[in-house]
Amino acid sequence: MPGISVILAAPGWRAAVKRPEAVARRAAEAALREAGAAGAMTVLLTDDSEVKRLNGQHRAKVKPTNVLSFPAGAPGQLGDVALALGVVRREAREAGRKTAAHLAHLVAHGALHLAGHDHLLAGEARRMERAEARIMRRLGLPNPWRGVT
């Protein structure tokens, strides 16, 4: 699988998830396989303040969010995905999920965006949710959409 780089910018990820870089890399690889996409991508595991800054700079939303995707638009380059530790941890806790499983789901979600998937329309959203469920099953992790209404 070409060039999946994982940058651990917030050391708190190690306390929240055992081997967070490996979890992120496996999820990105599985998502790109699912989408039939190839190319280089970077996963940034950072904190809420950095994601808040990126979200404000690129989306005019001055608040942290769980995951941001930045498509590259260059041959051989898929783009970048950034995840906010505090938001990911909080969402996992609220949903009764393990932080590692939520991290894997959100990396897969971001990688699918880089591969051209979206969820703006109902049909697109359903296809993306099904792809995410298949990816999680391949990773041996629970379906993130089971029990969601």
Task: Give yes or no for a contact between 89 and 71, defined as CB atoms under 8 angstroms apart.
Answer: no
Task: Give yes or no for a contact between 100 and 139, defined as CB atoms under 8 angstroms apart.
Answer: no
117 in a known ligand binding site: no
Q: Which two tokens stand for residue 34?
A: 């699912």
102 in a known ligand binding site: no
Separation between Cα atoms, residue 64 and residue 86, nearest integer Å? 9
Residues contacting residue 39 through CB under 8 Å, at least 6 positions apart: 2, 3, 32, 72, 76, 77, 78
109 in a known ligand binding site: yes
Separation between Cα atoms, residue 59 and residue 56, nearest integer Å? 6
Binding site per annotation, positions for Zn(2+): 109, 113, 119
Binding site per annotation, positions: 109, 113, 119
